C-alpha cells in the first residue's frame, strides 16, 4: 500500500513545524515567554537592549554583556543617499526599509549564511536590526520635507528611534512606554513573518534577504497593520457612548473590528495588559476615551458571540501608546518591525543551525493529469 501523505490543516493552524528555544505562546492561559522568562514581566522591568541580549545570547545581563545597538545604527553615506532617493519616490516606509537593508548588506559584504562564520552571522544580526529604526526614521523625515537626524549612540534604541523620527528628544515616560511596546513585540511564536524569515533562512540566503522577506509578510494588514487602524477607529467612534452602535453596524456589515480578537489568545492578551498600563501612566483624554470605548466594544462582542471569548489584542493599546508618544500614524506598523527585527534575526540564526531546507509538499486538487496525451 502506498504511503499516505500527511495533510496539514489550512494555514498550518495548530501544526508544530519546528523546535525552538527562543520562546513560546500559551494562548489559553494568556501567557507568552522569551526563552524561560515571562515576556510581559520583561516588558515591565527590562530594557530593549536586555531582551535583545537574551534572544541573541541566551541570558540576560549581567550574565551576558548587553547588546549595544548605539554605534551600529549609523548608515553609510551611500546607503543614506539611496534611502533618500527611495523615500522621495515611494510613500511606504516598509518599501524603503527593504531597499535599505538589501543595500547595506550588499555594500558591507554580508553574504550567504552558508559562507559566514558564527561570529559573522552574529554581527549581521546586530548590525541589520540596529539600522531598522534609522532607515524608517530617515524615510519619514524625508517624506515630511525635513532633514534626517543622525543616530545618537548614547541613547537607547527606543529613545533614539523616537528622536530620529519626530525631531525631538522624547521625555522619559514616552520613551519608556514605546520601549515597553518594543519589548512586548520582539517575538511571538511562529507567526507569519517569523515563519517566513525561517523559510528563507533555511535556503542559506543572506540574513538581509530573510529579513526583507519577513518585512514583506508584516506589510499584510492581517498581521502587523492594525495599530493605525485602531487609532482611526477610536477617532471615528469619538466617545464611549457611541461605541456600541458603531460596532453593531460594523458587525452587521461583516467588517472586522481591529484591535479585538486573536488567532491564539483566548485569555487576555498579556501584551495588551502591559500597554494599557503604559498608556495609563501617560494619562490624558485619549486614554480615558480608549478605556471607555474598549469596555463598550467588549460588551457588544460578548453579546455577538456569547460562547466565545473575544479579547482586546496588542494593537488597540499599542495604538494609544504610539499616538501619545508623538509618532505619526504612518509609522505605527513600521515601528513594529523595529522590535520584531530583533526576534527575526534570532530565529534566522536558530533556523540556520538546523541545516535543513524547509520544503513541504502541496496536494494537487485540479483536473486529472492527461497521461500519454500530446499537448
pLDDT digits (tens, 9 = 90+) for 99-124: 999 999 999 999 999 999 999 999 99
At 47, the pLDDT band (50, 70, 90 cuts) reads: very high
At 375, the pLDDT band (50, 70, 90 cuts) reads: low
Would you kindly state where each structural domain of the chain is located, as residue ranges? 70-219+329-354, 226-324
Mean pLDDT value across the chain: 93
Distance CA 244, CA 228 (A): 21
pLDDT digits over 241-280, tens only?
A: 999 999 999 999 999 898 887 667 667 889 999 999 999 9
Distance CA 181, CA 328 (A): 16
Active-site annotation holds for 262? yes
Q: Write down the pLDDT at residue 347.
A: 98
Closest CA to 321 of 215, 230, 258, 256: 230
Do 70-219+329-354 and 226-324 share a fold?
Answer: no
CA dihedral 244, 248, 251, 257 (to 10 degrees): -10
pLDDT digits over 287-319, tens only?
A: 999 999 999 999 999 999 888 888 888 889 999
Does CATH number 1.10.580.10 belong to domain 70-219+329-354? yes
Does residue 348 carry a pLDDT above 60? yes
Catalytic residue among 315, 323, 347, 352: 315
Instruction: Measure CA of the first residue to CA of the last residue in the chain; give whole Å.
Output: 32
Q: What pTM was estimated for this model as a whole?
A: 0.93
Cα 218 to Cα 155, 203, 215, 247, distances in angstroms: 27, 20, 5, 26
Q: Write down the pLDDT at residue 200.
A: 98
Mean pLDDT of 49-59: 98
Mean pLDDT of 182-192: 94
What percentage of the chain has pLDDT greater than the value 90? Answer: 78
Mean pLDDT of 145-150: 96
Catalytic residue among 262, 294, 296, 323: 262
pLDDT digits over 192-235, tens only?
A: 999 999 999 999 999 999 999 999 999 887 776 668 889 999 99
Closest CA to 94 of 132, 126, 128: 132
Cell numbers found for residue 247: 460596532
Q: Write down the pLDDT at residue 3.
A: 65
Q: Write down the pLDDT at residue 335.
A: 94
Residue 31 pairs in a beta bridge with 26
CB atoms within 10 A of CB 137: 28
Does residue 125 carry a pLDDT above 90? yes
Distance CA 53, CA 134 (A): 20
**In the CATH scheme, what is the code of domain 226-324?**
1.10.230.10
Distance CA 85, CA 198 (A): 30
Amino acid at each position: 500500500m502506498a504511503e499516505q501523505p500527511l495533510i496539514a490543516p489550512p494555514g498550518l493552524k495548530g501544526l508544530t513545524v519546528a523546535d525552538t528555544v527562543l520562546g513560546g505562546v500559551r494562548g489559553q492561559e494568556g501567557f507568552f515567554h522569551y526563552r524561560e522568562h515571562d515576556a510581559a514581566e520583561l516588558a515591565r522591568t527590562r530594557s530593549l537592549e536586555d531582551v535583545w541580549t537574551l534572544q541573541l545570547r541566551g541570558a540576560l545581563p549581567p550574565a551576558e554583556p548587553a547588546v549595544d545597538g548605539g554605534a551600529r545604527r549609523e548608515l553609510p553615506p551611500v546607503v543614506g543617499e539611496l534611502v533618500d532617493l527611495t523615500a522621495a519616490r515611494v510613500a511606504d516606509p516598509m518599501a524603503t526599509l527593504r531597499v535599505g537593508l538589501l543595500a547595506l548588506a550588499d555594500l558591507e559584504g554580508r553574504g550567504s549564511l552558508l559562507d559566514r562564520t558564527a561570529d559573522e552571522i552574529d554581527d549581521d544580526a546586530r548590525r541589520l536590526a540596529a539600522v531598522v529604526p534609522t532607515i524608517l526614521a530617515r524615510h519619514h523625515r524625508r517624506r515630511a520635507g525635513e532633514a534626517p537626524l543622525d543616530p545618537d549612540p548614547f541613547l537607547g534604541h527606543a529613545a533614539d528611534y523616537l528622536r530620529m523620527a519626530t525631531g525631538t528628544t522624547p521625555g522619559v515616560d514616552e520613551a519608556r512606554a514605546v520601549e515597553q511596546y518594543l519589548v512586548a513585540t520582539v517575538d511571538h511564536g511562529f507567526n507569519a513573518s517569523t515563519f517566513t524569515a525561517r523559510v528563507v533562512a533555511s535556503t542559506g540566503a543572506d540574513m538581509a534577504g530573510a529579513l526583507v522577506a519577513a518585512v514583506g509578510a508584516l506589510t499584510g494588514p492581517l498581521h502587523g497593520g492594525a495599530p493605525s487602524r485602531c487609532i482611526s477607529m477610536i477617532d471615528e467612534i469619538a466617545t464611549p457612548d457611541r461605541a456600541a452602535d458603531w460596532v453593531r453596524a460594523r458587525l452587521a456589515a461583516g467588517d472586522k473590528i481591529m484591535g479585538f480578537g486573536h488567532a491564539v489568545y483566548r485569555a487576555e492578551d498579556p501584551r495588551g495588559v502591559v500597554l494599557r498600563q503604559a498608556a495609563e501612566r501617560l494619562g490624558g483624554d485619549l486614554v480615558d476615551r480608549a478605556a471607555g470605548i474598549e469596555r463598550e466594544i467588549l460588551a457588544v462582542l460578548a453579546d455577538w458571540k456569547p460562547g466565545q471569548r473575544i479579547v482586546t489584542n496588542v494593537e488597540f493599546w499599542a495604538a494609544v501608546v504610539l499616538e501619545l508618544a508623538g509618532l505619526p500614524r504612518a509609522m505605527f506598523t513600521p515601528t513594529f518591525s523595529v522590535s520584531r527585527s530583533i526576534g527575526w534575526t534570532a530565529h534566522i540564526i536558530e533556523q540556520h543551525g538546523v541545516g535543513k531546507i524547509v520544503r513541504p509538499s502541496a496536494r494537487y486538487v485540479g483536473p486529472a493529469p492527461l497521461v500519454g496525451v500530446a499537448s
